[in-house]
Amino acid sequence: MLTPHDIDALSAGAATSPDALFAAIHQVAKRRLDAGLVTAMRHDEAAATVERLYSSDPGAYPVGGRKLKRDSDWSRHVLVEHRVLVSGGDDALRQHYTDQATVCGIGIHSCVNVPLVSGGKCLGTLNVLNARASWSEDEVAAARVLGLAALVAVLM
């Protein structure tokens, strides 16, 4: 789980800027969850899109990138029903992501998508990706806590 040092890092980021908070989330996810990629997306419900606000690998996943998220299992699960989605292994990634080849190409084999919800609306997602194909319950719980910090960054 998260340590007082992790919480201090998140607090310091929140006191500075959204970018500093996202960077702190990435560092904590890397340290505690061995994250290979961390991204944060803003959801535009009317346009049915998500736009990347943060990426720990801007070469593969640049900030500002947009994706259409309409009528898919992923969008219903995460954006509409506001449920965390754990995609463990290449088959699960293939089922949920059209860019699965790019994801696997950078050595990623699993993902936890955390919906960032405020006032009953999904404002975005925090996405923590890993080279391992599975996640423990404690790791998913830690990703969810980091999602709360990401929600703060989106609201800033």
The pLDDT tens digits of the residues spanning 11-32 come to: 999 999 999 999 999 999 999 9
**pLDDT one-digit tens code per residue, 105-139:** 788 889 999 999 999 999 999 999 999 999 999 99
Q: How far apart are the first and last CA of the chain?
A: 25
87 beta partners: 111
Is-contact 84 140, C-beta < 8 A?
Answer: yes
- Tokens at residue 32, please? 């505690």
Confidence of residue 41 (pLDDT cuts 50, 70, 90): very high
| pLDDT > 90 in the chain, percent | 77
Q: How far apart are CA 26 and CA 36, in angstroms?
A: 9
Q: Give me the residue label for tokens 């640049």.
A: 62
